[in-house]
Structure 1
């Protein structure tokens, strides 16, 4: 079984779509005429952004999206780019025996994790899927 998509309830679908297009390389694949639902795709994954209507969307504590990059340099580059753009970054890049990561928060309070994994010998493990 393959995961098909993730649907996020958001307060402003066009604004959130622009965020994922700009900073995560997604492309828009579908939009309702009123733009209340926008589907995006990147690296074989579909993300659907659906406006929540009058209620501000809320997510449970600990809920987050995780993006994996190939190596520490790409994590550092992503961090620098997002910091320069004024993203709401939670802290600096944190490294452990498992890998390196940082978190940011979107306008609707959705936490996004960006990181890479290390091999057991401390060397960055490639995340490329062939």
Structure 2
């Protein structure tokens, strides 16, 4: 069994679309106004970003999106992208539970993780 899509509620659709495109290399497949954007990565995963201007999206404290990369250099390069995009992080990449990991918060409080386990 393979997870093939996710519907993620966001508060600002254009900001979310830009972050997933510019930082994670997702490509826009379709957009319905300011409500839904359908994106894909290069591995067949579909991400549906959904925004409702009448509701504020919130997630539980430990909710996060995790991305695995191949090398420590990939994590460092991603960190550089964040700096260039003026997206703050609490710390530089570091070893966390057997992985070289970077955490950052964006899109109104969603926690993101970028990790390499090939140490």
Q: Any unmatched runs of 5+ in structure 2?
A: none
Per the normalisation by structure 1, the TM-score is 0.83
Q: Corresponding residue for 2:112?
A: 112
Alpha-carbon distance in 1 for matches of 2:90, 2:6: 23
Alpha-carbon distance in 2 for matches of 1:49, 1:74: 25
Per the normalisation by structure 2, the TM-score is 0.90
Instruction: Note the C-alpha offset of 1:46.
Output: 1.1
Q: Corresponding residue for 1:127?
A: none
CA RMSD of aligned residues (A): 1.4
For residues 21-78 of structure 1, give each alpha carbon's deviation from its aligned partner in whole angstroms, at most 9, with x where no partner exists. 011100001211x231001111221111000332210001100000111100111111
Q: Please give the secondary structure, in 2, of the residue aligned with 1:29.
A: strand
Q: Any unmatched runs of 5+ in structure 1?
A: 119-123, 125-130
Q: Corresponding residue for 1:41?
A: 40
- The runs of 4+ residues in structure 1 deviating greater than 2 Å are none
Instruction: Note the C-alpha offset of 1:104.
Output: 1.1
